[in-house]
Structure 1
């Protein structure tokens, strides 16, 4: 059987024309569980110290679920927040960060002094976050500024993803990841999976 060069060229051109490029994919993952827990109940004033300890804590021996490990192994590039809980999560996944940028750090919590109450830090954090979402930022970054930061963060992610041969994974934080997700969707990316509220949860966004 004789195969003519012109026929081979024709097949190659057809395949190249109809070959579908892999969709641009960005994974937003929340870090693992930090080691620091502190005491079970604190005053609102003591929450300032609790937050400082939480921000300086890594995840110790906390291990990711298999699904998070699979997502991390599929990523061609890893981007991370500079906070220890994010960086140590990347290391636990057996990866190294290609980009570490302060733009991906978590949005801060405003502290409002309410004497006479001693509550779980989780309850205080939820209360302060609602305050922040309602526009009460006090001495931390306001919601509007955090949204602007999310625009900048999504721009970095898209730029890296366009230059990559596979998914780009951000190891970030719960609230900031959700703000970034909204920006990615506004850019036309489709949400294939929404990030949950648990440690190691991840959202997946693609653009064909």
Structure 2
């Protein structure tokens, strides 16, 4: 039995190079609506995806378009696999890179700040649900299951799988298109 957690490809949306913390709300919204455009998956990701008997996906366009780029269609699309949100903080007068703001907001979220977004605790509960769906799916498929998901949520799901007795057997790549494979011990 094998579960593959893969991160989506690079989103087409890049937006402004510098934004205020308040402008990040719009930037995040547009990022969440972005697909992967013409981003081409690396061959190892194609190979892993082709091995899966069942495909599961987040509903966000960057995940769904990544599956299209891999030539796969999802058997299940579920909101439980969407990325964890970012809290926003108003810091007047600073225009910084959206990636910098996203990093600051993610650290805040990991430290317990969840202004107007799901808390880390709730995201962990969602990861339990997600892991249960994946385990049930791999048993029903009697073969490899691929989740096309997101960086933070995939890590939370991986921790839950490990706590359920699954072991990471392979790690492929970093950043977009990265994948981790888990087997039941």
Asked if these proteins are the same fold (TM beyond 0.5), I'd say yes
Seen in structure 2, the aligned counterparts of structure 1 residues 195 and 154 have a Cα distance that, compared at 3 Å, is farther
Structure 1: distance between partners of 2:120 and 2:133: 20
Deviation, 1:165, is: 2.9
- The equivalent residue for 2:43 is 66
Report if the CA contact (8 A) 1:174-1:197 is conserved.
no
C-alpha distance in 2 between matches for 1:196 and 1:122 = 20
| Aligned equivalents of 1:194, 1:183: Cα separation in 2 | 17
1:39 to 7, 16, 20: 16
Contact 1:28–1:195 (CA<8 Å) still a contact in 2?
Answer: no
Structure 1 pair 194/137, CA: closer, same or farther in 2 (3 Å)?
A: farther
Paired positions, count: 185
Cα RMSD after superposing both structures:
1.0
Aligned mate of 2:78, from 101, 108, 111:
101
Of 137, 152, 157, which residue of structure 2 is paired with 1:160?
137
Please state whether the residue corresponding to 1:128 is helix, strand or coil: helix
Residue in structure 1 matched with residue 128 of structure 2 by the alignment? 151
Structure 1 unmatched ranges of 5 or more: 1-23
Q: Which moved more, 1:185-194 or 1:65-74?
A: 185-194
Pick one of 176, 179, 184 that aligns with 1:202. Answer: 179
Rounded Cα–Cα distance in structure 1 between residues aligned with 2:12 and 2:184: 36
- Asked if residue 25 in structure 1 is aligned to residue 2 in structure 2, the reply is yes
Residue 134 of structure 2 corresponds to residue 134 of structure 1: no
Larger Rg: 1
State the secondary structure of the residue aligned to 1:122.
helix
Q: 4+ runs of 1 displaced by more than 3 Å?
A: 194-197
TM-score of the two chains, using structure 2 as the length reference:
0.98
Shift of 1:193: 2.5
After TM superposition, give the deviation of residue 167 of structure 1 in Å. Answer: 0.6
